[in-house]
Structure 1
C-alpha cells in the first residue's frame, strides 16, 4: 500500500502502529505547538539533531507540510497525544477540534524509516514486522536546552546480533535524517536505561543469546522537551503511530 492509502485508512478511523509499513518511505514524529513557542522549539531541535532531526516546519495554522507530501495533519495520523501544561492528558484519533489558528507543526525524522534499510542489508531485526516494534526508554543523558525546552534524551532499542552491530552502525550513520548512528551499544545501565521500563510499555525488550542492545536517539525526546517547557497545549503523534510521508528514504526504492 502507498503512504496515501495508509493515511486514508487512518483518516477513516483505523488505529495501528506504523512500524514496517511502507518500507522505503520516511515516517515522521510530529509536534504541533503554539506559534509563540515555535522559534524556541526549533532552536531546541537544531541543538539536538541526533534525537530531533527536523524535516519540516509549518507556518502558524497550516495543517500540511508540502515538502513531505499531500496530507492533513489534523486527520492523517493513526493516533495523537494531547498535552496540557506539559502533561500528557489524552489520546485521540483526530485533532481537528483541537486545532487553533496559531498551531505550528514540526516534522522530525524517525528511526522506523531506517529499519527497511537494515533489513535490506541483511541485519536480523526481530522488531521489524507486522504487530512488532522497537522499544523506547528514558535515559540519564541531558538534552541541550534552548529557551524553556530541555529534559533528557529518549532512545529506541533494537536487539542486534553481535556480529551485525558494526554493519547496523554503518548503515544508520548514512541516514542522519532518521537519527543516524547509534548513541550506545551494550550495557543499558551505562546510559541510565532500565530495560524493564519501556515507554508506554511498547515494543520488544528481550535479548536472545548472541544479541546486543543497540540504542538510537529517539524523537520521543521532543515530548520530554515539551514537558520541561510546560507548554499550555501541544499535540504530538502517539509513540509508534507516526505520520507516513510521501518522501522516500535515500538509497531505498
Structure 2
C-alpha cells in the first residue's frame, strides 16, 4: 500500500482505515492538529504496576486514557486499538516475539490498554514557529535512545528512561523549550539539551529505536522524554505479556493537539 500524497491532511478516521488495511509507516506529520499517543497493553493483574510506574515517572509516561479490561476502544480513540495503529510489538516475558500490523490475534480479554502522551503532538507547534523537525523533513522515524537514567520502580516494573531527539538550531533552543513546555501532557519541555554523553548515549547515529537524522554544524541535539519508556521497562523487567506500538508508529487519537496546550 502506498503512502497518501498528504498524510497531514487526513482525519484520524481516514488514517486509521489505512493502517487497518495494512499500511505500515511512522506517523510523525500525520493528521495535523490531532494528538498522537503511545500504546502499552498489559494483563489486568499487571495494570496497577503500569499505572503506578506512570504516576512515578510522569515525564516519560503521561497517561491520556486507560481502557476497561479487554476493551479495544478508548474515550480519545474511537477506532480499534487491535488493528488501527500502523505497527505493534508483542512481548512475552519481556522478549519481542512478534512485530505486526494487526494485533487482533494476540489481543487477550484481560488486557488493559494505556494511551500515553506522544511528543509528535507538539511538533506542529514547533514547525509553525519555524523550528525544524528533522525526521519529518527527512521522511524517517524519530530517533529514540535508551539512557543511563533509571526510572522510579513500581512493583515489578522498572527500567531506563527513553528519550527522543530533535536537532535544533542553537538560536532556537529557547523557543523549542518554551513551546514544548506548554504541552506537559505529551512530555512537555526537554529533559536534556546538548551533550548526549550526559545521558549515556554513545552515538547519535545509532538510535535504539527509529532512524538517525542529520545534525548540522549550527544545531544542538535536544532530548525529550519518550513514551517508549514503558516498553523499555517491559524488556528490562520481563512481565509475562504485553503489547506496545511499534516505536514511532502511533495511535492517532480523536483528541485535538490543542486539548493538551496549557495557556
Which of the five TM-score ranges fits, normalised by the shorter chain?
over 0.9
SS in 2 for 1:127: helix
| 2:49 counterpart of 1:47 | no
1:230 Cα deviation (Å)?
1.2
Counterpart Cα distance in 2 of 1:218 and 1:128 = 17
Match of 1:73 in 2: 81
Task: Say which of 90, 93, 117 aligns to 1:85.
Answer: 93
- Does the 8 Å contact 2:205/2:212 carry over to 1? no
Deviation at 1:177, TM superposition (A): 1.1
Q: CA RMSD in A?
A: 1.5
Q: CA deviation at 1:129?
A: 3.9
Query: For residue 212 of structure 2, what is the aligned residue in structure 1?
Result: 204
Aligned to 1:184: 192
Aligned counterpart for 1:103 among listed residues 107, 111, 119: 111
2: CA distance, partners of 1:223 / 1:160: 27
Aligned residues: 251
1:229 Cα deviation from its structure 2 partner:
2.7
Secondary structure in structure 2 of the residue aligned to 1:227: helix
SS at match of 2:198: helix
Structure 2 residue runs without a partner (length 5+): 1-9
SS at match of 2:258: coil
Distance 1:235 1:33 in 2: 7
**Gaps spanning 5+ residues in structure 1: where?**
none
SS in 1 for 2:213: coil
Distance (Å, rounded) in 1 between the aligned partners of 2:53 and 2:257: 24
Instruction: Tell whether the 8 Å contact from 1:24 to 1:252 is kept in structure 2 after alignment.
Output: no
TM-score, with length taken from structure 2: 0.92
Tell me the equivalent position of 1:61. 70
Task: Find the aligned partners of 1:105 and 1:249 in 2 and give their Cα distance.
Answer: 21
Alpha-carbon deviation of 1:252? Answer: 9.4
TM-score under structure 1 length normalisation: 0.95
Out of 169, 172, 180, the residue aligned to residue 164 of structure 1 is: 172
State the partner residue of 1:16. Answer: 25
